[in-house]
């Protein structure tokens, strides 16, 4: 969507072009919202070989976060995220790895739902 | 300044929906209303523009003085965050936008009612929808509205700053996505940031993760820069709030903006700049504003819990309130009209008008387009 005003001396925008907004049917915002307090984990490995003993090669990625050693510098690798709770894990959850994470240097935990509680409460009350 | 009654375009709902305004009608009542419009003179627009930039300058001065004094307790901001907010100001962490709510009747100087400096909305209708309306309905007239191009230019400037520092211009944009207006506003900001060259990823605010070292998105990618349509006072009080102190994320609007989005700044401004023609007397103490006044919660939004108090009428017992001398909104055809005047990158960038049968503007108050000649 775009339009162009015909006079460059105006105090309105000369051109208003939209590339995302208005394409309501195609906007790629995920509708799924992770429930509050959901914890996930992933294993960090010293080498790619260690990671591939637990997961498929495609599931092992260089760690680029810096503090973990860095993909190019420290040579560490991490596996995929998996649910911290076995009871709530879906069928596609990769799990803790074939060794159960024993080969991992460390296990990183990630949590979601730490923001948003006020917003949902306020909107629900409105 | 006058209100004109006009005939809406026959297929206006489809037209505004095509621009992303699919919340034009709420609970059967029009939110976008083009059965009327407001007409201004160029001189009146000059006055609004000048007042907006003057007020913005006063606000920055107030932030500077308040942070220098070290007293953010006046704003009910948790003390643990004070040094972090001060650091954000010392670095001049960049902001993008804000919106002053003004009472202006076309004759007296515009009066600042509040500054929505953190999470202003009514953006799409001001920047885009009324622009297209003007092109079709008031051809040959002008509009105080360069919001769209100023937003793109501002995001370009931030893009230049980031890339000059050797960092990837990757921006996450978050809000409460089950609220349609918030979602569309985030999408619009995604649109203009994308046009400015940023790589953009939207996500619901609740989907932001913390892995013990940094914030992540749903793909577990680190979030380096975040636009959030979510008030600072909520973020600070939620579970992940303390992780913000790690300063691993560049956030728009930046932390120092929470000084201005807080209505307790209104008494501070009046103390610092007494009798300024664009300010109103304000205090935390009702007795200091003896005439008719407006009681506002310092963290309230969109007219929530705002009360008009008659002369000598006592305040409510609720905590966290400020009192501001009444500057009644002008009334046209029975509608009380508020001007929302936008700042982008420190410059006045346009305006949007809201009208309501009540003297208090609320989130459902109609948005009405404007033009000037």
| B287 and B348 housed in the same domain | no
CB B191 within 8 A of CB B34: no
**Probe site for chain B from A2, A3, A11 (most B CB atoms < 10 A):** A11
Could you tell me the pLDDT band of residue A8, with boundaries at 50, 70 and 90?
Answer: low
Domain count, chain B: 2
Q: Is B39 exposed, middle or buried (0-12, 13-18, 19+ CB in 10 A)?
A: middle
- CA B282 to CA B269: how far, in whole Å? 8
A115/B235 touch (CB, cutoff 8 Å), yes or no = yes
Q: Is the residue at B245 inside a domain? A: no
Task: Give the residue numbers spanning the domain of B345.
Answer: 2-166+329-372
Q: State the pLDDT at residue A9.
A: 65
Is B213 in a helix, a strand, or coil?
coil
| B311 and B366 housed in the same domain | no
| B10 and B37 housed in the same domain | yes
Q: Residue B29 forms beta bridges with which residues?
A: B26
Q: Is the residue at B192 inside a domain? A: no
- Contact pairs from chain A to chain B, CB under 8 Å: 162
- CA B68 to CA B183: how far, in whole Å? 37
Could you tell me the pLDDT band of residue A70, with boundaries at 50, 70 and 90?
Answer: very low
| B288 and B362 housed in the same domain | no
B145/A12 touch (CB, cutoff 8 Å), yes or no = yes
Give the mean pLDDT of A82-108.
84
CB A82 within 8 A of CB A42: yes
- The CA-based angle B321-B326-B329, given to 5 degrees, is 120
Q: State the pLDDT at residue A110.
A: 82
For B179, the token pair is: 């609220």
A118/B18 touch (CB, cutoff 8 Å), yes or no = no
Please provide residue A61's backbone torsions phi and psi, each rounded to the nearest 5 degrees.
Answer: -130, 145
**Probe site for chain B from A22, A38, A82, A94 (most B CB atoms < 10 A):** A22
Q: Is the residue at B8 inside a domain? A: yes
Q: Is the residue at B32 inside a domain? A: yes
| B7 and B32 housed in the same domain | yes
| B318 and B334 housed in the same domain | no
Q: State the pLDDT at residue B50.
A: 98
Q: Residue B355 forms beta bridges with which residues?
A: B337, B366
- Nearest CB to B211; choose among A5, A33, A108: A108
- CA B235 to CA B128: how far, in whole Å? 29
- CA B204 to CA B173: how far, in whole Å? 8
User: A53 to chain B, minimum CA–CA distance in Å?
Assistant: 22
If one compares B47 and A89, the residue with the highest pLDDT of the two is B47
Q: What is the ipTM of this complex?
A: 0.91
Beta carbons within 8 Å of B28's beta carbon, 6+ residues apart: none
Q: State the pLDDT at residue A72.
A: 43
Q: Is the residue at B71 inside a domain? A: yes
| B37 and B161 housed in the same domain | yes
The DSSP code sequence of B75-139 is GT--GGGHHHHHHHHHTT----EEEEEEE--SSSPPEEEEEE-SS---HHIIIIIHHHHHHHHST
Give the mean pLDDT of A6-12.
69
| B19 and B64 housed in the same domain | yes
Where chain B has pLDDT below 70, the residues are none
Q: Is the residue at B137 inside a domain? A: yes
| B320 and B339 housed in the same domain | no
DSSP 8-state assignment for residue A95: T
Q: Which residue shows structure tokens 């089950």?
A: B178
Q: State the pLDDT at residue A103.
A: 86
- CA B208 to CA B210: how far, in whole Å? 7
* CA atoms in the 13 A half-sphere facing the CB of B321: 22
CB B166 within 8 A of CB B204: no
| B23 and B78 housed in the same domain | yes
Which residues of B149-299 form beta strands (DSSP E)?
170-175, 199-204, 209-210, 215-216, 225-228, 250-252, 282-283, 293-297
CA B31 vs CA A126, B51, B285, B344: distances in Å: 16, 27, 35, 24
Could you tell me the pLDDT band of residue A65, with boundaries at 50, 70 and 90?
Answer: low
| B13 and B143 housed in the same domain | yes
For B353, the token pair is: 């008008």
Q: State the pLDDT at residue B126.
A: 98
In chain B, the residue whose alpha carbon lies closest to the alpha carbon of A43 is B211
Could you tell me the pLDDT band of residue A85, with boundaries at 50, 70 and 90?
Answer: confident
A29/B17 touch (CB, cutoff 8 Å), yes or no = no
Q: Is the residue at B171 inside a domain? A: no
B176/A28 touch (CB, cutoff 8 Å), yes or no = no
Q: Say if A31 is an interface residue toward chain B (CB within 8 Å).
A: yes
Could you tell me the pLDDT band of residue A74, with boundaries at 50, 70 and 90?
Answer: low
Q: Is the residue at B222 inside a domain? A: no
Q: State the pLDDT at residue A69.
A: 39
- CA A31 to CA B101: how far, in whole Å? 33
Interface of A with B in 56-115 (CB under 8 A): 65, 67-68, 81, 108-115
CA B273 vs CA B21, B265, B277, B282, B302: distances in Å: 39, 12, 9, 11, 26
Within 8 A of B190 by CB-CB distance, chain A residues are 20-21
């Amino acid at each position: 969507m775009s339009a162009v005003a015909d006079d460059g001396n105006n105090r309105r925008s000369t051109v208003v072009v939209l590339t995302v907004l208005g394409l309501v049917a195609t906007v790629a915002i995920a509708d799924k919202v992770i429930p509050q307090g959901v914890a996930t984990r992933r294993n960090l490995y010293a080498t790619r070989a260690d990671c591939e003993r637990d997961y498929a090669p495609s599931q092992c990625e260089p760690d680029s976060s810096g503090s973990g050693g860095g993909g190019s510098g420290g040579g560490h690798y991490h596996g995929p995220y998996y649910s911290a709770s076995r009871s709530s894990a879906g069928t596609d959850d990769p799990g803790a790895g074939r060794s159960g994470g024993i080969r991992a240097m460390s296990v990183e935990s990630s949590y979601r739902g730490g923001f948003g509680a006020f917003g949902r409460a306020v909107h629900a009350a409105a | 300044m006058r209100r004109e009654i006009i005939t809406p375009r026959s297929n206006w709902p489809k037209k505004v929906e095509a621009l992303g305004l699919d919340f034009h009608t709420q609970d059967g009542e029009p939110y976008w209303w083009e059965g009327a419009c407001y007409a201004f003179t160029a001189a009146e627009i000059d006055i609004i523009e000048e007042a907006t930039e003057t007020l913005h300058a006063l606000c920055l001065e107030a932030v500077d003085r308040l942070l220098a004094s070290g007293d953010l307790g006046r704003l009910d901001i948790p003390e643990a965050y004070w040094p972090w907010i001060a650091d954000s100001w010392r670095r001049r962490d960049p902001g993008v936008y804000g919106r002053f709510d003004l009472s202006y009747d076309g004759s007296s100087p515009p009066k600042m009612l509040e500054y929505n400096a953190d999470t202003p909305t009514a953006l799409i209708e001001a920047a885009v929808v009324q622009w297209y309306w003007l092109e079709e309905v008031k051809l040959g007239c002008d509009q105080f509205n360069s919001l769209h191009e100023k937003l793109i230019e501002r995001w370009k400037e931030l893009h230049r700053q980031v890339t000059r520092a050797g960092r990837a211009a990757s921006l996450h944009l978050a809000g409460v996505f089950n609220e349609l207006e918030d979602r569309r506003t985030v999408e619009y900001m995604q649109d203009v940031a994308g046009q400015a060259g940023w790589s953009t990823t939207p996500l619901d605010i609740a989907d932001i993760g913390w892995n013990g070292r940094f914030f992540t998105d749903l793909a577990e990618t680190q979030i380096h820069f975040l636009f959030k349509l979510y008030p600072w006072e909520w973020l600070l009080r939620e579970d992940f709030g303390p992780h913000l102190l790690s300063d691993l994320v560049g956030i728009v609007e930046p932390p120092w903006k929470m000084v201005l989005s807080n209505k307790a700044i209104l008494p501070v401004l009046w103390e610092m700049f007494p009798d300024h023609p664009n300010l109103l007397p304000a205090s935390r103490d009702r007795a200091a504003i003896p005439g008719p006044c407006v009681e506002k919660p310092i963290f309230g939004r969109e007219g929530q819990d705002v009360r008009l108090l008659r002369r000598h009428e006592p305040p409510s017992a609720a905590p966290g309130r400020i009192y501001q001398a009444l500057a009644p909104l002008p009334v046209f055809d029975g509608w009380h009209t508020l001007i929302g005047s936008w700042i982008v990158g420190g410059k006045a960038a346009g305006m949007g008008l809201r009208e309501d049968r009540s003297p208090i503007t609320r989130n459902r108050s109609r948005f009405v387009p404007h033009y000037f000649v």
